Structure 1
């Protein structure tokens, strides 16, 4: 069987890592639960957690057919929750630093949460990588394995103006 290029396999995974609603990822009390979701197709597999919409593992064969995980990251979800790195995570609302944790939009100054000295890094101390995303849909295998995650950032979260939904 011919192997699809890695990029063709990753594009649906990475594109799908952004969507959902509050039902499937919640417990009986309505609280969101953190989980690890494995997607697999042939020799390819990927693991994603809804903690920060983080890719924790991508395994596929090398040119000699040996399987290997190519994702740099932690071994447990607790390490992602308690860690200070951004391994495999979506960052937001901004990737990189906002100098002096402030910016001007339409003449108004917005002050952000400073979490990197005097700067705001990757959306603040509770950016998209440090929240539980909602799992809307999860299909682990078959012809089209995928996961759909969703996060709604409210107006004023970490100092950013306006609501924003990642879908």
Structure 2
């Protein structure tokens, strides 16, 4: 409880993700997004029938819980998306590695030019091989602009006019 006596939700712990094969999914997430199994929770995947394989790219602070599909638990992709944030070094390295084996929302290989300008951050929208959607964000806006966007000649996508942000800031 907080000082006011009202309950406040804590940090995001994990997101449930359905995949047809946890081992294949673990391999894909490790190779392409840097996830690793979280050993403290391994018993859920090995000893609990239908239990999740907990994976993380930040040492277990934030996790994906990979649940394998079954007759009672069909494949339902995470279509609303899960957003992760990285620093400028990781974001620029990811952008420069494209295209690769990661697809954008269209199903085509993600390209550096698929970057989205959200005025306060840069983002890539991507999907895993099973249709689960993710967003990769970086809030070090100026550094990404000067180290990647401008030198690469990339024309980012925008979902709204820049003038809305500029007007808001005065």
In which range does the TM-score fall when normalised by the shorter chain? under 0.3
Relative contact order higher in (CA < 8 Å, ≥ 6 apart):
1
Q: Scaled by the length of structure 2, what TM-score is found?
A: 0.25
Larger relative helix fraction: 2
